[in-house]
Amino acid sequence: MPPLVQIGSRHIDRKPAWLKVKAPGGGNYVALKHMMRELKLHTVCEEAHCPNIGECWEHHAATFMILGDVCTRNCAYCAVAHGTPAPLDEGEPVRLADAVARMGLRHVVITSVDRDDLPNGGAEIFAACITEIRRRLPDASIEVLIPDFKGNPEALGIVVAAGPDILNHNLETIERLYRVARPGGRYPRALALLRRARELDPEERYFTKSGLICGLGEEWDELLTAMRDLRAHRVDILTLGQYLRPSADHLPIARWYTPDEFAELKRLGLEMGFRHVESGPLVRSSYHAWEQVEAANA
């Protein structure tokens, strides 16, 4: 195990040098921001305060967030607003496909807020988005980062039947911290969803993927246990990134992981059998997602 930078109850919010990023503001960034407002679309890049928004948007890459911008859950690490969502927007898939076509994307990432107020958690909208994008850009690969749908197998089946290329559900943290960090979720339920996703695809037409946030208070061995749990449930692609506290109302940062520690986690993950491991301080689920697909295929 590499040397620890910080661990224990004391925390610091001052970012180390390796987490400094250039403020967004290039031409592509401004144009993309305008298009999102024009089409009344949301991105997790904005809603979750992603540190990579400038880099990704300059490369015409964005993670679309469907089903509105208000989540029915209140995870203690997440910047997305929570409360009572607006009514379902049936026209969202068409507008999203329009944005994808206008951007000429080769790889599309779609995620959502949790919509526990809907019978299938919004699975039908995920499926409609996949269908509309396939109609407009048949050669584009499509990645969906789905909620747990409260363990509803019918909802998962609806998404799988639409034919995504990558099906992602983030485990987010270790089992011990679920009650504090992710009170609306269940660690075994998240793993069961990923296992079921693979069982629904015996021919392995798509990859399964999951991610973990580092720095919420987990111990190194607990992190490795979560990684092994994901691999035991036949997850293909793993992402690992540093937790960044969105505000003083969110969970404190327990410690900073160094680039060397992330490199070691990648090495260990590949040894466990993952097809690809994206591991680094600034890594998020969709960070360089287009490259993750190529690496997993290789």
Chain mean position to CA 43: 12
For residue 61, the model assigns a pLDDT of 59
Tell whether the model's pLDDT for residue 48 goes beyond 90: no
| DSSP-assigned beta bridge partners for residue 241 | 213
Task: Give tens-digit pLDDT for 244-293.
Answer: 998 999 999 999 999 999 999 999 999 999 999 999 998 987 766 667 76
What average pLDDT score do residues 209-219 get? 97
DSSP single-letter state for residue 117: T
Q: Choose the CATH number for 21-297 among 2.130.10.10, 3.20.20.70, 3.40.630.30, 3.30.750.200.
A: 3.20.20.70
Residue 83, both tokens: 């409360």
Q: What is the DSSP string of 124-187?
A: HHHHHHHHHHHHH-TT-EEEEE---GGG-HHHHHHHHHT--SEEE---BS-GGGHHHH-TT--H
Mean pLDDT rounded to a whole number for the chain: 86
pTM for the structure as a whole: 0.86
For residue 6, the model assigns a pLDDT of 45
CA angle at 210 for the pair 239 and 190, rounded to the nearest 5°: 145
Cα(198)–Cα(233) distance, integer angstroms: 8
User: Where exactly are the structural domains of the chain?
Assistant: 21-297
What percentage of residues in the chain have a pLDDT greater than 90? 64
Task: Give tens-digit pLDDT for 106-165.
Answer: 888 899 999 999 999 999 999 999 999 999 999 888 999 999 999 999 999 999 999 999
